[in-house]
Chains A and B, each alone.
Chain A
Amino acid sequence: MVSRSPRSDSAPRRPTAAQFRRWGVDPLWSRVVEVPSSDGSTYTWHVLERSPEAPIATIVCVHGNPTWSFYWRSLLERLGDRYRVIAVDQLGMGFSQRTAQRPFAQRVTDLGDVLSVLDLSGPVVTVAHDWGGPISLGWALDEAARTDTCSLAGVVLCNTGVAVPAGRKAPALIRLAAAGPLTDFVGRRTRIFVDGTLMLSGKRVARAARDGYRAPYRRAADRYAVSEFVGDVPFTPAHPSAAAIDQVAQDLRSLTVPTLLAWGARDPVFNDDFALDLAARVPHADKHRFPGMGHLVVEETDVAALIDGWLSERVLHAAPVVRAEPIVHAETPPIWAAIEAKRTDTSAAFVDGGTGTTTSFAAFHDRVMGVAGALAARGVKPGDRVAVLVQPGVDLLSTAYGCWRAGAVTVIADRGLGLRGLGAAVRAADVSLVIGAPKALAAARTMRWARGAELLSVSALSKLAALGSRLPPAPKAGDPAAILYTSGATGPAKGVRYRHGQMAAQRDVLATLYGITESDRLVAAFAPFALYGPAFGITSTIPNVDVAAPGTLTADALAAAVTSVDATIVFASPAALLNVNNTANGRHTVFSKLRLVLSAGAPVPIATLRATAALCPNAELHTPYGMTECLPVADIDLTAIDAAGAGNGVCVGQPVPGVSVLIAPLGLDADRALEPLPAGTTGEVVVRAPWVSDGYNQLWRTEHEARPRTSDGRVWHRSGDVGHIDTHGRLWIEGRSVHVIHADGNPITPVPIEVAVEALDGIAKVAAVGVGPTGCQQLVVVVQDAQRPIGLADEVLIERVRAAVPHAVAAVITVHTLPVDIRHNTKIDRTAVALWASEILAGHRARCNW
């Protein structure tokens, strides 16, 4: 493996057409250019280039170390029919000529040299990765400085850096590789650096692609530049390249063109800290963070699609930032208004379900304002993000309202995400302060959820709150307030941004919809809903139940909670209500005092509603429909459910006043104007309301795709649910859009099939999924049955299912359990079911790994 080879200036032999094809590269893209260098020599550069006759713009791609232009093949493939896409092999790298060592400043000049020979015209967007980042920026900033002929139209940066982020050391792996004699060994004499880079991305790099990445670096003589690149990383100010790179880092603050940071979050080298450092230097940058992806992010996931959408939106249209509009009128009272109004009220604001301790409104007010003052005194600035890892209770309520009053943005990830999900959520949120119980803080510290953030225990905070620091100015309706998390039932949990005005609007619509007045008292059996109590200015409590297992709530525990506050309203998840019904013994007369029972978060089985109605004879039973990004969208009560009867899907009722609902075509393209479908047609549910969230955290593309516009310019939110509106204006939900079965002919929605099969005797839970490619998928019905063997159903069951379903059913399978989400314990992960069914029905062995 170790070899000594003399330095030569010849490039490795260019791959054959067959090799290029095997790697997914059109051999016609590959060419060499002779470039006179500013150092007096002429060098042979290898470039991959693809262009239509009349390109919209030129995309210049600069690779890092130790990759080559091959890294950008997905961009040539996807964008090359509209853009001129040029990916250069830097000198000494890829299949470009080998040269003497080229320090950073020389490489910037080199890039300029080759680009001038390639004769760029029209707007130019640079795209770069790894150490290609500072080099491309060096060129781009020079270009941007040319006021007369500037062609720079955009900058894209993937897992790169221009400076070691404040408060941390340079990447340990690179420091190690750059440590004196090791550099040559790791980079040139052996393939450790080349192979190691591929290893960082593991199986996400396909075998053929690995071959492509290694191709130009097979001989030690071809790897001089690999080790010299590593050696050129300035770890000390005295390093010859330090000043030049530092200049780029400084000048970056003057960059005004649209900028995109496309980031693989699992990169041990250029991790989130580098992304934050760049974001701080380019505050207008759009960010898209890929949680599961690593250093070679462009190789690992579809960054080309992200860049494609971003170019159309930002560079070609130069469109204004997409916002959920309208922002609520500024005169809406803030979310803490009721707390302020009751500052002298000695009645109970919150009763602790475990200890029975009561906190009065007056005390709660002082606590909230104390927290706000303390946070400001500790240097928390408006807009700073604060992770609140506190168990539901008065501590959580006062901390959250204190943060909001101080203008901080709360990051509240509930235990329903699971520990890993919780960590991922906090990590993605860029928090500057973590408030939590000692246990939570220890977890945050050991699992490095929030590097560089301060940690503050709840008890320390309450001591600080008692000091009575001066209150900071209150935030406005348009200011950011919170990041909430989706349940992650259909992919990684997404952070959802809310502004103060949006939260206040949500409070107002719920109060109006359910007639909530000061005479109401709330039991929040779905713990996050306890946060609404102080906003409504009503007494609230949380029953004594494990927050991570709401389905264990007993009738006794709920009755105790209802008694403790003399409750009029109960909010509980469907799973909790089910268990309450199952544990009720007919002696809970206190439930007759309830006037309203709300259940949401997942479809509520009709049997649960009926049993609850029997238990709470004087209560109206409502189930609001909505999602983390917009709640409520619609509402229905038991009477209306009965009136709606059976239909295609689950009826969720009329849209609530103030919300607009449209049905959009499936597979909607967010780059085009949204054309609603006529009533009765099945499509994706899109909504618009003052309480729709602002957008997603660090997910530019997700946000862009979730927010289409109608031709009148209004912005809508895609719910991700599929359904239709009936002739009475009621909304019916037929499943998630990602779960639609794209069969030959019309798409098939899963929920109506599941409803039909679940109506059969002895069948409780069913998932309808598609296997095979989009457009000719086959419908497969998976029935949960703990008594039958896993696999193909018996003939009797197959017959019954086929008779109940109005579509061709390719196969009926039974499983012992179907996978459900942690938070609600009811939403079936049909994607996981479909993957498993695909394997089984392909003839492979597969285990249900849920």
Chain B
Amino acid sequence: MQLVKVLVTGASSLLARRTVEALLARGDEVVCLQRHEAPVDTDQVLGDVRDEALVADAARGCDAIIHAAAKVGVVGSWEQFRSINVDGTASVVAAAASTHVSRLVHVSTPSVAHSGHSIVGAAADAPFIGRSGAWYAESKALGENLARAAASDDLAVVTIRPHLVWGPGDTQLVGRIVDRARSGRLALVGNGAALIDTTYIDCASSALVAALDAAVPGAACNGRAYVIANGEPRPIRELVMGICRAAGIEVTPRSVPLPLAMAAGGVIERLWNVRRATTEPPLTRFLAEQLGTAHWFDPRPARDDLGWVPTVTIDEGLRRLRDWFRESS
């Protein structure tokens, strides 16, 4: 592999950080851009991804950009989500065009194509626009369209949609499950049997690196999107209990019917918005639906086009998670 210089945006997130580490480990040059200093051992440009001049400056001399900066969660106004996730992406695309960058890996989310039904072995469908309320997914869908539309013979754009990333240090999935289990509030939505595929953190970062390497003009992946996951769907109950056991907690989670969880999620979201809260709510409709229905994907497109296969199995990931909990306690 020819060494490259890569600009990574949003390097404060776990996934971006791990990707930076993976790139550095193989000898690539990396420069990061995010608002606050991130715990990565490389050059950092601090600032806003929407600042096109700043991004272009940071991208100068780079061959590639991994665009991972995004506003996630449910807290915030449409304007905030749109501004960061759409304008921010536009700014990165413009910076790529005005510099010598020839590869762009855009980090998206499977929820851009998600209409609310269970997903059973699906491919990465086209994003759709026109949700009411789900601002994260809506803004990411617009952002993904924008990034993919920039694909050309001069700029290869590959979109990666990692599905439910978890691992040591993850506060989103692992953190929430463990918190809830410790406080005795852990509940499963529905029968707990919904098959959910997830992505161990090292697999997600290796997929971004694979996408970076595959992103050359003329490649089949140029302009396309790929859902990334371990390819090992498990019933949600098994997964949640596996994570709890890794954290050293033995629980039998309660069960909440899906319609009830959806309704509760809706109420909680509205309350949060009314209160203009700045913390993430305990339950959202999106989360309820994510936990209550099947979500797993066809692994073949990513393997065929990016040459990527998962590097760490779910069972191995759970072992590593257990070791991490033991070390950190």
The total of Cβ contacts below 8 Å across the A-B interface reads 75
Q: Does B273 contact A (CB under 8 A)?
A: no
Q: Are A773 and B121 in contact (CB under 8 A)?
A: yes
Across-interface contacts of B191 in A (CB, < 8 A): 791-792, 840, 843, 845
Q: Is B299's CB under 8 angstroms from A744's CB?
A: yes
- Note all chain B residues with C-beta closer than 8 A to A773: 120-122, 298
| Other-chain contact of A843, B122, B258, B298, B299 (Cβ < 8 Å) | B258
* B195 A810 Cβ-Cβ under 8 A: yes
Contact flag A777-B234 (CB < 8 Å), given A813-B193, A843-B258, A843-B294: no
The proximity string for A residues 806-850 relative to B, scoring 1 for CB distances below 8 Å and 0 otherwise, is 001011010000000000000000000000001011111100000
Instruction: Report the bound CA distance from A842 to B192 in whole Å.
Output: 10
B285 in the interface, Cβ–Cβ < 8 Å?
Answer: no
Q: How far is the CB of B104 from chain A (nearest CB, A)?
A: 28
The closest CB in chain A to the CB of B242 belongs to A795
| With A777-B121, A840-B193, A843-B258 as contacts: A744 and B231 at CB distance below 8 Å | yes
Residues of B within 8 A of A798 (CB): 238
Using a CB-CB cutoff of 8 Å, which residues 210-264 of chain B contact chain A?
A: 231-235, 237-238, 241, 258
Known: A744-B300, A843-B194, A843-B258. A778 touches B233 (CB 8 A): yes
A354 cross-chain contacts in B, Cβ below 8 A: none
In the bound complex, CA of A841 to CA of B258 (Å): 14
CB-CB < 8 A to B122: which residues of A?
773
CB pair A776 B121 closer than 8 Å: yes
CB distance from B312 to the nearest CB of A (A): 14
Inter-chain CA distance A838–B233, complex, in Å, is 13
- Decide yes or no whether A383 CB sits under 8 A from chain B: no
Contacting pair B234 A811 (CB below 8 A): yes
A773 to B299, CA, bound (A): 12
Does B85 interact with chain A (Cβ within 8 Å)? Answer: no
Q: Is the CB of A842 within 8 A of B118?
A: yes
- With A and B bound together, what is the CA distance between A810 and B235 in angstroms? 8
Please report the C-alpha to C-alpha distance between residue A838 and residue B193 in the assembled complex, in whole angstroms: 10
Band of interface residues on B: 20 to 34
What 1/0 mask marks residues of chain A from 653 to 687 whose CB sits below 8 Å from any chain B CB?
Answer: 00000000000000000000000000000000000
Give the nearest-CB partner of B119 in chain A. Answer: A842
Q: Which residues of B contact A792 (CB under 8 A)?
A: 191-193, 235, 237-238
A773 to B234, CA, bound (A): 16
Contact pick for A810, options B233, B293, B298, CB 8 Å: B233
Contact code string B192-207 (vs A, CB < 8 Å = 1, else 0): 1111000000000000
A842→B293 contact, CB < 8 A: yes
**B296: interface (CB < 8 Å):** yes
What distance in Å separates the Cβ of B270 from its nearest Cβ neighbour in chain A? Answer: 24
Contact across chains for A808 and B299 when beta carbons are under 8 A apart: no
CB of B168 within 8 Å of the partner chain: no
Whether, in the assembled complex, B162 has its beta carbon less than 8 Å from a beta carbon of chain A, the answer is: no
| Residues 79-137 of B at the A interface (beta carbon under 8 Å) | 118, 120-122
Find chain B residues with CB under 8 A from A811 CB.
Answer: 193, 195, 234-235, 238
Residues of B within 8 A of A776 (CB): 121, 298-300
Q: Which residues of chain A are within 8 angstroms of B233 by Cβ–Cβ distance? A: 778, 810
Kindly state whether residue A772 has any CB partner on chain B within 8 Å: yes
Note all chain A residues with C-beta closer than 8 A to B293: 842-844
Q: Which of A808, A813, A844 has the most CB of B within 10 A?
A: A844
The answer to whether B143 has its CB under 8 Å from any CB of chain A is no
Report yes or no: B292 in contact with A843, Cβ–Cβ below 8 A: yes
Interface centre among B193, B234, B296 (most CB of A within 10 A): B193
Instruction: Indicate if B190 sits at the interface (CB-CB under 8 A).
Output: yes
The answer on a CB contact under 8 Å between A841 and B193 is: yes
Closest to A811 in B: B235
Chain A residue nearest to B190 in the complex (CB):
A843
- Asked if B121 and A772 sit within 8 Å, CB to CB, the answer is yes
A-side contacts of B189, CB under 8 Å: 843
B238 to chain A, nearest CB (A): 7
Which residue of chain A is the closest to B120 with respect to CB atoms?
A772
Q: Are A842 and B238 in contact (CB under 8 A)?
A: no
B199 to chain A, nearest CB (A): 16
* Most chain A CB atoms below 10 A, which of B233, B235, B298: B235
Residue numbers in A under 8 Å from B258 (CB-CB): 843
The answer to whether B292 and A810 have CB atoms under 8 Å apart is: no
The answer to whether B118 and A843 have CB atoms under 8 Å apart is: yes
Q: Mark A749-793, 1 if CB is under 8 A from B, else 0.
A: 000000000000000000000011101111000000000000110
Cα A813 to Cα B238 with chains together (Å): 12
A808-B232 in contact given A843-B258, A843-B292 (Cβ < 8 Å): yes
A390 to B244, CA, bound (A): 64
CB closest chain-B residue, reference A802: B315
Distance in angstroms from B84 CB to nearest chain A CB is: 32
A771 to B194, CA, bound (A): 12
Residues of A within 8 A of B238 (CB): 792, 795, 798, 811
Q: Smallest Cβ distance from B71 to chain A, in angstroms?
A: 28
B115 vs chain A, min Cβ distance (A): 14
CB distance from B319 to the nearest CB of A (A): 15
Report which of B237, B241, B296 forms a contact with A778, defined as CB distance below 8 A: B296
Assess the B120–A838 pair: CB atoms within 8 A: yes
Chosen A-B contacts, 13 in total, with CB atoms closer than 8 Å, are A744-B300, A772-B120, A776-B121, A778-B121, A808-B232, A841-B193, A841-B195, A841-B235, A842-B194, A842-B195, A843-B194, A843-B258, A845-B191
| Chain B residues proximal to chain A, CB less than 8 Å | 118, 120-122, 189-195, 231-235, 237-238, 241, 258, 292-294, 296, 298-300
Please list the residues of chain A having a beta carbon within 8 angstroms of any beta carbon in chain B: 744, 771-773, 775-778, 791-792, 795, 798, 808, 810-811, 813, 838, 840-845
20 further A-B contacts with Cβ under 8 Å, apart from A795-B241, A841-B235, A842-B120, are: A744-B231, A744-B298, A773-B120, A773-B121, A776-B298, A776-B300, A777-B121, A778-B233, A792-B191, A792-B193, A792-B237, A810-B195, A810-B232, A840-B193, A841-B294, A842-B195, A842-B293, A843-B189, A843-B193, A843-B194
